[in-house]
Structure 1
Amino acid sequence: MKTNNFSSFVLIISLLLATHNSLAAEKPTKPFVVVLDAGHGGHDHGNKGNGYKESEIALNIVLKIGAELEKLPNIKVIYTRKTDVFIELRERAAIANRADADLFVSVHCNAHHSDAYGAETFVLGLHKSQANFEVAKKENEVIYLEENYQEKYGGFDPNAPESLIGMVLMQEEYLDQSILLASLVQNNVINNLKRKDRSVKQAGFWVLHNTYMPSVLIETGFLTNKSEGAYLNSAKGQTEMAREIENAIESYIKSISVSIEKLKDPEIAHIQVEKVIETTKENIFDGVIFKVQLAASSRKLDPKPSNFKGLKEVTRDKEDGLFKYYYGETSDYNKIQVMKTFVQQKGYPSAYIVAFKKGKKVNLPEVLKSKGI
């Protein structure tokens, strides 16, 4: 099969890597350091939906992720906690910073007064909705359990949206890499475990704000949902969730490693990487090309990066009197889903996937139905 062109997506990541000092070429022997953070702990049980304990479930998942990562060569795993102890939010971030970590992954379980369910992964950013703010507020309120929290957190108020604005600036340089990992996590959990997709989101989590490396916070599901809570509280659910998160981290590390190996010059225009995301036959559609539609307009724009928020290799077609602008081109449905999430976080929230066969647009639901997706 002809190799899919995934270079435009990987190029963005690769150029960012040139400034990521913990992976600089002059330190090739430095292990890739992953800090795993099990949310809550000790007297902070987190949410206790349906009688389950978030702190225990998060810890079990984190330990399983770490056990698999530790089997990989040149990977160093650091845990913010390995037992049921209370760790302050600022100390969790400090652990990662002191270790000069390359990645910070925080694992949690969600709760809601409704019967909500599904998985979502957060990167740091201003909340885009009241729902995102409420999730961040709930996780940030653990600071009230700490002594002298007013002094330690410099007047930060989890209940005040304005307190979040200053948090975002420090993490901006790692945002694209954080989005990549978050997208890989969502892709694995949704497609392989068939969980409801609550997408990659941005919100103001203190624990992400204070880390100086790509960072994500994973809400694995809702303990308050009877079915999902039971799943996450089971050994099966924890093992499966850990497996998919670990695989996402491994895919992320693989993409970083391959890109660095091929990055001879930071001004390289194109880098071919055949496998950033593990593919399966079920995800490859022979004769079908998927693209992400960014916009449709009567204006004819030059599809250059400066016109499309820095996105490279945007293509333009004319259809029904309108100019359609697309990003990406692949026969792998997993990859196009990740690319869609990427461009949505880059500033195209209404972007969606379209399918083509022999150069003509075809009905996406029918294409997916042909493989039982």
Structure 2
Amino acid sequence: MQNNSNISIFASETGNNMKKRKKYTWLLLLFTSYWILGSIAAHAKPGGPGSTIKTVVIDPGHGGKDSGAAYGNAKEKDIVLDIALKLGNYIQASFPDVNVIYTRNRDVFVPLYRRAAIANKNSADLFISIHVNAVARGVVQGTETYILGQHRTEDNLEVAKKENAVILLEDDYHTTYEGFDPNSSESYIMFELVQDEYMEQSAMLASAVQDQFRIHAKRIDRSVKQAGFLVLRQTTMPSVLIETGFLNHPAERQFLQSKSGQEHLASAIFKAFKEYKKKVEARSSFNMVTETSGRNSPISNNSPDNNVETTSQNSTNIYFSVQIASLSNNVEPSAKNFKGEHNVFMQKKGKTYRYFCGRFNDVQQAREEQKRLKKKYSGAFVVAFENDNLVPVETVVRKL
């Protein structure tokens, strides 16, 4: 009888496990499909990763009926809104050409899916979500910045659960998030298959944020981490979620609530943004050159093929070329760095490195080369040199 009872219990447990596995397998399939659609949208977005940073969406977490973490009179929703607005002001003051969009600029409740939708709809180049942490026990303190991924520790999972739990305040969240339960560890199985094409850029920004928090704001660095945040999961651009400190720690709570503390935190995030922008845009210019087919420049109308050396500069030391890139970092203009292009040379002016392709005695030859290069580098243009100094093309043409 005992054996039969054990068999019956085992069979019941096995059946329940199978049902549960089927449930979450279906859930995983739904989210995987959703992820594929999101990736397609990301590829279709103008600019894409590595391009100029034109639009930034800043997301102050929580708001309205959702206070977020709270300790006494300190509320996460108020602190992060102040930091977010300060960050936006720093960006707009230094980069007036960058469009700064907030998911909220006042104390209102914004559903989680809407926050990501705002960034996606505006074809944002960057998404920054700002939060404040808290734990029920201990005196933990410090900052941590998250990127999308599978949680590696239970602590990371708990942070994700806490931030994702905001969906419970939304109407019909089961339908909106395809049955996702933020409090169930099994729901986070879906993040095991996440292949975030923006992970490299997200990690670059996250690392810069943590560096600036440590160096500029003098905060304890709890490092860059990965976890399954729904708001990051639904964005189609590089995205980070920043935890600026712990409300349960007395000194950190005082810092987070103070105007000075909020300015230090916002300034640190801005410095990280500035560093990230510089790196991404420099990389964009470099990629524009290195992603060529490796074909050498056509140099002379008398050449039997395109593999001969460029026409040497004439006796007056005046020649034409085509500018193909302008970088903030020095890249050796060797063939291996430029996919076999042997005719690339560089000139430095101030802190800028400018890269040119070919030397031509005749401006028409340079323009023919420009036509070829513009098919790959839309920004390619003809320049002129006299005694190896850049001069206006019209000035040189008049002299010849």
Coarse TM-score class (shorter-chain normalised): 0.5 to 0.7
* Cα shift at 1:163: 1.8
Partner of 2:223: 199
* Cα shift at 1:267: 6.5
Equivalent position amino acid for 1:199 in 2: S
- From 142, 152, 155, give the equivalent of 1:118: 142
Equivalent position amino acid for 1:149 in 2: Y
Equivalent positions of 1:223-302 (< 5 A) are 223-263=247-287, 264-266=289-291, 274=329
Relative to 1, partners in 2 of residues 1:171 and 1:57: Cα closer, same or farther, differing over 3 Å? farther
Equivalent position amino acid for 1:265 in 2: T
Whether 1:82 and 2:72 are equivalent positions in the alignment is no
What is the TM-score with the length of structure 1 in the denominator? 0.64
Whether 1:40 and 2:65 are equivalent positions in the alignment is no
* Cα shift at 1:52: 0.2
| CA–CA separation in structure 2 for the residues paired with 1:127 and 1:64 | 30
Equivalent position amino acid for 2:264 in 1: E
C-alpha distance after superposition, 1:302-342 (max 9, x if no partner): xxxxxxxxxxxxxxxxxxxxxxxxxxxxxxxxxxxxxxxxx
| CA–CA separation in structure 1 for the residues paired with 2:86 and 2:251 | 22
| CA–CA separation in structure 1 for the residues paired with 2:218 and 2:270 | 17
Relative to 1, partners in 2 of residues 1:166 and 1:267: Cα closer, same or farther, differing over 3 Å? farther
| CA–CA separation in structure 2 for the residues paired with 1:190 and 1:216 | 17
Equivalent positions of 1:321-340 (< 5 A) are none
Structure possessing the higher radius of gyration over alpha carbons: 2
Whether 1:70 and 2:92 are equivalent positions in the alignment is yes
What is the TM-score with the length of structure 2 in the denominator? 0.60
Percent of aligned pairs with the same amino acid: 45
| CA–CA separation in structure 1 for the residues paired with 2:199 and 2:44 | 12
Give the secondary structure class of the aligned counterpart of 1:165.
helix
* Gapped regions of structure 1 (runs ≥ 5): 1-18, 276-373
Partner of 2:156: 132
Give the secondary structure class of the aligned counterpart of 1:70.
helix
Give the secondary structure class of the aligned counterpart of 1:23.
coil
C-alpha distance after superposition, 1:157-210 (max 9, x if no partner): 112223223246555111111100000000000122221111000001111000
* Cα shift at 1:104: 0.4
Equivalent positions of 1:148-187 (< 5 A) are 148-167=172-191, 169=193, 172-187=196-211
Q: Which has the higher contact order (CA 8 A, sep 6+)?
A: 1
* Gapped regions of structure 2 (runs ≥ 5): 1-42, 295-325, 331-400
Relative to 1, partners in 2 of residues 1:92 and 1:107: Cα closer, same or farther, differing over 3 Å? same
| CA–CA separation in structure 2 for the residues paired with 1:237 and 1:80 | 23
* Cα shift at 1:69: 0.9
The number of residue pairs the alignment matches comes to 254
* Cα shift at 1:31: 6.0
Equivalent position amino acid for 1:89 in 2: L
Relative to 1, partners in 2 of residues 1:65 and 1:168: Cα closer, same or farther, differing over 3 Å? farther
